[in-house]
Structure 1
Amino acid sequence: MLKKSLSTLLSVPFIVAGGLLGSVSASATPTIVLNFEGAGDQAQLLGFYNSGTDSQGNSGVDYDIQFSSNALSIIDGDAGGSGNFANAPSPNTIMFFLSGSAILNYTPGFTTGFSFYYSSATAATVNVYNELGATGNLLASLDLTAQYNQNCPSGSKGAFCNWTSVGATFSGVAKSIDFGGTVDKTGYDDITFSSAIPAFRSAIPASNVTISPDEEPTRIGEPASTALFGVGLAGLGFIRRRRA
């Protein structure tokens, strides 16, 4: 993980893909940030950032960014969604996946670096490639650790309550990213292009509801269709389990 001073971070021009669109100097190369706000709960992201929609008909800013069908968005349970997470850097929506791995394709390509926040119940690896579809030469690789419940603020509601920033620089032009990890075990937010430091983090107060230490956390949400996701839902994950 690369570290920079706060003054260096604030000097980087950002475009935030979601509810906020930052102003960018025409002479500067913008740093695009995907915060997934506006995407649906357990929706396939698909063309949400590619002048299309997610599987629920929601559309975001057009950045020529296309996701594989495995990449899903999910909304925090406190915001009316099915998400089993808390303290996300930009509330209330993140990316995760329930089968295979999530691949992001960015046709124009990006340079310099790449970064994001994550919360994970398992070790995982994210790889950056110079061709679409996670092919070509490997430009960068980021190793993630299991840290989802470490040092969470008191009162955090949601099993995945710790978010860590990671980033890397590389040479060349990157066009795709393969987000590895065990299905329903790793969530991502504020995916940032052309910077080794992820976008600014919001100050998010913790919920007043706690999770009992002897209670098994559930997934981030319950799927709208098990046929769509094709996996079982037992054990820890980003989907909250409904109680009778």
Structure 2
Amino acid sequence: MNALRSALFALAFYPMSVVAVLLALPAAVLGRRPLFAMVHFWVWWHRWCAELILGIRTRVEGEMPTGPVLVAGKHQSMYETLEVVRLLNDPAVVLKRELADLPGWGRVAQLYGMIPVDRDGGAPALRRMLAAAQAVLAQHRPIVIFPEGTRVMPGEQPPLQPGFAGLYKALGVPVVPLALDSGVVWPRRSWVKRPGTVTFRFGEPIPPGLPRKETEARVHTAINALDDAA
């Protein structure tokens, strides 16, 4: 049954995603509001497909952040990359350069304000990332980063990547940790999803200006809170 649900989800979600991208490109010509409306439609379509077809729901714990903050989240599946856009107020997500280079989708992502990171680009790439991040904060939008750098299996707790500390220091805004457990229902190494509830637990804001080691330790502990509680 789960395999059938997953196949139906793919048949419903991905073709409509292609349509959304094709409509978002001309919408962007008309201005920010039409583009954002298409992005909102896309993430809500994902939400409807996940809930109605897969039986996956979202539970939010803690206070969702607003305004110019840095949200540092656990990353276990594709689910949270879209769901966090739905939950927050038009956040920009830090993503791999390769995704931003995808035809069509990558262009829409950059127009929306997503922040590409080129890990091999050196200082110039870092300056471009910081400039993009500062532009997002100037719009009073939050930034979402997955500081462990990649999707992990439930229970895995790799160290944070150095790019997170650089953003934290340069931007001078609070960090809100985000723990989640999407990997239980949306496994990383399987296309078959399982019904269940994904918890998004927003932690207490961490003020700017703290020493790097202290910040990283607090963020690492907070984003792995659901693993530790399991």
Same fold (TM over 0.5): no
Q: What band does the TM-score fall into relative to the shorter chain?
A: under 0.3
Q: Which structure exhibits the higher relative contact order, with contacts defined as CA atoms closer than 8 Å and separated by 6 or more residues?
A: 2
